């Protein structure tokens, strides 16, 4: 139970939490930020609750993020969810590398500039392979290290909240609460500042909130290794509630230390800048060290998740059988090595990116949406067809509400996100088709490459690709 909860918390409380003050203040005032977190908290609760309920109802579905999609909507959808989730974890780890190197630059100015220069790429690559070998040593060893790391990184986060709770100017929290004053929330319009609408301010941080909550399903992904299956649901809900409280406090309290326009200009990790402003340089050092611990622990948790999904998919036949191979320590081997190679390739591409951190976390956040929406829809499906009653005698209506509202929240996230990042999702999903064909061919001549309804799913995916390519050619979007 403790180890599973640590996986959930560590997966969510990664390096991004240390940049929340600036990330939210850059687009929104304190009032809209509160509303955004409330909406996100409610939406993610329904997603987390769907994971919790399904882990109790269907403990036989190991690594449920992928299995729920396959059980509910067929092999093609299940494969795409597994593939998309796998890419999300890989890109998320590269995002960790970028922000970690950027933090190192605070200690060694000019050595790791922007987290994507040559030194950053080399150091990040070393860490990718170091985690590869650590996870190969077995999930018991890696799980112990992750639990210790989670405890260690909670200390600076809790101290940050405590110090702000004591020393901030609470009356300043209510200055321009809704962000309608031009000098506080601005956009470029004829080089003159002007206010941004309340709705725009609420929508703007939604991708940040989703990125922050990725990992809430961590216990479900590793459910196959849990001794007590009932612990999976408890760990999911406990980890979600703890993370929500920390996120809200870390986003709201900094508005009591400086104006929004000042907070929006603080360099990341912005918690370090906020604490330096409040108590002096030692606060900046303390938070930067905390971020390093946080990223190192979160990176380990995500490496474990990254290897688990293709391994289980290989066991179930959704991925080629080679991905199911494990070593004597029961650690995934082929899936881990290939995951590390994907991360290494993405790490090299980061060198050519002008805004690597923003790109990586936006794409990672949206690549998880297929997994979340299929899970919540599967929850709703088994309630509507009364399959739910086979597993539990009460609570079907509440479970249905949880599934439907979770799915609606996923659609809202897509609507509120920037179009260029949403457009990347179908393109990246299409890249996995050769792997799907490979896995189908392994089943022999009796298994066709595509079943009848899967042609329909493929047509929709390819149509979205054509639309995205058309938008790119027209210059209406760019990556």
Are 131 and 143 contained in the same domain? yes
Whether residue 129 is found in the same domain as residue 199: yes
Q: Check residue 183 and give its pLDDT.
A: 44
Residue 344 corresponds to which tokens in the numbers above?
């290494």
Residues 85 and 219 in one domain: yes
Q: Check whether the bond before 269 is cis (ω within 30° of 0).
A: yes
Lowest mean pLDDT among 201-205, 295-299, 380-384: 295-299
Residue with tokens 């092999």: 75
Helix, strand counts (H, E) of the chain: 21, 0
Spatial CA neighbour of 123 closest among 147, 107, 140, 143: 107
How far apart CA 159 and CA 376 sit, in angstroms, is 36
Final residue in a domain of this structure, among 416, 440, 460: 416
Q: What is residue 10's predicted lDDT score, i.e. its pLDDT?
A: 65
pLDDT for 184:
45
> Taking the CB of residue 424, how many other CB atoms lie within 10 A of it?
18
- Inform me whether the pLDDT recorded for 194 exceeds 60: no
- Domain that includes residue 131, residue range: 2-416
**Does residue 180 contact residue 200 with C-beta atoms inside 8 Å?**
no
Same domain, 340 and 464: no
Burial category of 309 from C-beta neighbours within 10 Å (exposed 0-12, middle 13-18, buried 19 and up): buried
Question: Per-residue pLDDT for 198 more than 90?
Answer: no
Are 63 and 89 in a shared domain? yes
Q: Taking Cα atoms as reference points, which of 149, 159, 151, 155 lies closest to residue 298?
A: 149
SS3 category, 379: helix
> Quick check: 413 and 369 in contact, CB under 8 A?
yes
Give Cα separations from 116 to 100, 124, 227, 244 (angstroms). 10, 9, 41, 30
Residue in 88, 81, 64 with CA at minimum distance from that of residue 211: 88
pLDDT (0 to 100) of residue 280 = 87
Render pLDDT for 317-359 as a digit per residue (tens, 0 to 9): 889 999 989 888 778 889 999 999 999 998 988 888 767 777 7
Q: Are residues 330 and 436 in the same domain?
A: no
Does 349 share its domain with 203?
Answer: yes
The two three-digit tokens of residue 108, written as one number:
């060694």
Confidence of residue 394 (pLDDT cuts 50, 70, 90): confident
- Write out the DSSP string of 16-39: GGGGHHHHHHTT--HHHHHHHHHH
Q: Tell me the C-alpha distance between 118 and 139, whole Å.
A: 32
CA 265 to the chain's CA centroid: 25
> Could you tell me the two tokens for 238?
């406990």
Q: What is the pLDDT of residues 300-319, one digit of tens each?
A: 877 887 888 888 888 888 89
Q: What would the DSSP string read from start to end of 193-212?
A: --PPPHHHHHHTTHHHHHHH
Q: What does residue 331 show for φ and ψ, rounded to 5 degrees?
A: -90, 140
Domain containing residue 210: CATH number: 1.20.1740.10
d(CA 144, CA 147): 5
Helices 139-167 and 2-12: crossing angle, nearest 10°?
60
| Mean pLDDT to the nearest integer, 437-452 | 82
pLDDT given at position 369: 92
Query: Do 37 and 173 form a contact (C-beta atoms < 8 A)?
Result: no
Residues 238 and 331 grouped into a single domain: yes
245, 171: one domain:
yes
The one-character DSSP state at 267 is: P
What six digits make up the tokens of 96?
A: 């960790």
Give the phi and the psi of residue 42 in degrees, each rounded to 5: -65, -45
How far apart are the C-alpha atoms of 92 and 466, rounded to whole Å? 27
What pLDDT is stored for residue 182 in this prediction?
42
222, pLDDT greater than 70: no
In this predicted structure, the answer to whether residue 223 has a pLDDT above a threshold of 80 is no
Closest to 421 (Cα-Cα) out of 469, 362, 368 = 362
Q: Are residues 475 and 327 in the same domain?
A: no
Whether 87 has a pLDDT exceeding 80, the answer reads yes
| Residue 74 burial (CB count, 10 A) | 14
On whether the CB atoms of residues 30 and 170 are closer than 8 A, the answer is no
* 394 DSSP assignment: S
The three-class DSSP label of residue 355 is coil
Q: Which of 367, 391, 416 represents a domain boundary (last residue)?
A: 416
Instruction: Please say if the pLDDT value at position 217 is more than 80.
Output: no
% of the chain exceeding 70 in pLDDT: 86
pLDDT band (50, 70, 90) for residue 229: low
Residue 96 clears pLDDT 70, i.e. is over it: yes
Taking the model in full, what pTM does it have? 0.84
Question: Rounded mean pLDDT of 426-432?
Answer: 95
Considering only 15-19, 217-221, 362-366, 374-378, which range has the smallest mean pLDDT? 217-221
All residues at 6 or more sequence positions from 452 whose CB lies less than 8 Å from its CB, including other chains: none
The total number of structural domains in the chain stands at 2
In 3-state terms, what secondary structure has residue 189?
strand
Residue 354 sits at the vertex; the CA angle it makes with 351 and 358, to the nearest 5 degrees, is: 100
Q: Is residue 196 located within the same domain as residue 338?
A: yes
Q: Which of 371, 395, 416 is the last residue of a domain?
A: 416
pLDDT digits over 138-190, tens only? Answer: 756 666 666 666 676 778 888 899 999 888 888 888 887 887 654 444 444 44
Alpha carbons 414 and 436: distance in angstroms, whole number: 25
Based on the fold, state whether residues 280 and 337 are members of the same structural domain.
Answer: yes
Task: Assess whether pLDDT exceeds 50 at residue 40.
Answer: yes
How confident is the model over 451-477, as pLDDT tens digits?
A: 888 899 999 999 999 999 999 998 888
């Amino acid at each position: 139970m403790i180890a599973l909860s640590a996986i959930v918390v560590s997966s969510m409380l990664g390096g991004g939490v240390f940049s929340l003050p600036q990330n939210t203040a850059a687009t929104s005032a304190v009032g809209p930020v509160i509303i955004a977190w409330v909406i996100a908290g409610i939406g993610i609760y329904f997603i987390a609750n769907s994971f919790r309920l399904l882990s109790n109802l269907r403990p036989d579905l190991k690594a449920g993020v992928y299995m729920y999609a396959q059980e509910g909507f067929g092999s093609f959808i299940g494969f795409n969810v597994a593939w998309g989730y796998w890419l999300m974890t890989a890109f998320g780890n590269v995002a960790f590398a970028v922000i970690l190197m950027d933090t190192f630059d605070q200690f060694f100015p000019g050595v790791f500039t922007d987290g994507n220069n040559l030194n950053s790429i080399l150091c990040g690559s070393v860490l990718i392979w170091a985690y590869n070998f650590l996870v190969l040593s077995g999930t018991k060893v890696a799980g112990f290290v992750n639990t210790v790391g989670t405890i260690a990184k909670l200390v600076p986060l809790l101290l940050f909240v405590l110090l702000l709770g004591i020393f901030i100017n609470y009356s300043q929290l209510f200055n321009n609460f809704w962000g309608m004053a031009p000098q506080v929330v601005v956009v470029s319009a004829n080089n003159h500042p002007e206010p941004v609408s309340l709705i725009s301010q609420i929508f703007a941080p939604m991708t940040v909130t989703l990125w922050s909550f990725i990992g809430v399903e961590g216990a479900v992904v590793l459910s196959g290794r849990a001794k007590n299956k009932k612990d999976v649901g408890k760990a999911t809900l406990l980890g979600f509630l703890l993370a929500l409280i920390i996120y809200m406090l870390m986003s709201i309290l900094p508005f009591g230390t400086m104006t929004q326009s000042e907070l929006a200009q603080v360099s990341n990790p912005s918690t370090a800048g906020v604490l330096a402003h409040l108590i002096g340089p030692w606060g900046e050092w303390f938070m930067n060290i905390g971020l390093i611990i946080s990223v190192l622990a979160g990176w380990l948790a995500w490496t474990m998740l990254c290897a688990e999904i293709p391994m289980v998919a290989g066991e179930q036949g959704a991925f080629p059988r080679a991905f199911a191979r494990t070593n004597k320590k029961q650690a995934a081997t082929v899936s881990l090595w290939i995951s590390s190679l994907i991360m290494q390739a993405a790490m090299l591409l980061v060198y050519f990116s002008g805004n690597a951190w923003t790109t990586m976390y936006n794409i990672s956040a949206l690549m998880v949406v297929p997994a979340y929406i299929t899970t919540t829809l599967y929850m709703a499906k088994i309630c509507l067809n009364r399959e739910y009653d086979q597993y539990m005698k009460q609570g079907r209506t509440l479970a249905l509400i949880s599934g439907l509202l979770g799915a609606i929240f996923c659609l809202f996230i897509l609507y509120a996100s920037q179009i260029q990042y949403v457009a990347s999702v179908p393109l990246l999903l299409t890249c996995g088709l050769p792997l799907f064909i490979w896995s189908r061919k392994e089943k022999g001549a009796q298994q066709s490459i595509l079943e009848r309804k899967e042609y329909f799913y493929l047509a929709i995916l390819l149509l979205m690709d054509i639309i995205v390519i058309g938008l790119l050619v027209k210059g209406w979007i760019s990556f």
